[in-house]
Amino acid sequence: MPEITSLCVYCGSSKGRDRIYMEAARELGYAAAARGIRIVFGGGRVGLMGELADAALSAQGDVLGIIPRHLMEFEVGHNNLTDLRVVESMHERKLEMFRESDAFCILPGGFGTLDETFEMITWGQLGLHAKPLGLLNVNAFWVPLIQMLEHQVEEGFIKHHDLKRCFVAESVGDFFTQIETTVVPSSDLEAKWS
């Protein structure tokens, strides 16, 4: 497993109902900075994105934000980052975040977080990358999604092998332990359609 020097974090531009989500975002930011791992995220100053970035920066961490021009106002682009890149589209944002990262951490979030997460899982399934991806299961947030994925396996739409493309961590410490030891399954396109 190659060393993780840059971690892409997908998370909400909202804070959620429970403070535990903000606390987890902050803890992840502090922990990444303490390990010398750069945070790559969506570039917003609001919600969990802002909590994550501010925590990493306060711990002298390196933070790269990538935000589409049309979201600079809505997500309130974070102008105090190590580096803020303004791109022209959501597609460009996702590609840049992918290119700049060695691994992915998924905090709670909404539609955008799910979109980004499933795109990276799908790219892995298609053999476009072998970067580890973990769901940080704060407050059991991801349990319904995990159950849905298991249902899709049972119904024959996902191979059990491909569920291993994403691991589940119950704490920030557990996430960093797993990210260092996870072996991402190799892509098997022939098996996908058999």
> Is the residue at 18 inside a domain?
yes
Specify the pLDDT at position 96. 97
What's residue 75's pLDDT? 61
Tokens 């191979």 — which residue? 159
Q: Which residues contact 94 (CB under 8 A, 6 or more apart)?
A: 116, 119
User: What tokens appear for 159 in the block?
Assistant: 């191979």
* 161: in domain: yes
**Does 148 map to a domain?**
yes
Q: What pLDDT score does 79 carry?
A: 87
Q: Say whether pTM exceeds 0.85.
A: yes
Segments in the chain forming alpha helices (H): 19-34, 47-58, 90-99, 111-125, 143-154, 160-163, 172-181, 189-192
The tokens of 14 are what? 């909202």
**For the chain, how many residues are written?**
194
Q: What pLDDT was estimated at residue 37? A: 97
pLDDT at res. 184: 78
Residue 161, domain CATH: 3.40.50.450
11-to-2, 55, 74, 92 alpha-carbon distances in Å: 24, 14, 15, 18
Domain-located, residue 38:
yes
1 in a domain, yes or no?
A: no
Note whether residue 181 is domain-resident: yes
In a domain, residue 158? The reply is: yes
**Residue 26 within any structural domain of the chain:** yes
What residue ranges of the chain have pLDDT lower than 50?
A: 193
What confidence score (pLDDT) does residue 73 get?
Answer: 72
State the total domains in the chain.
1
Q: Range of 85's domain? A: 6-192
CA distance 43 to 85: 8
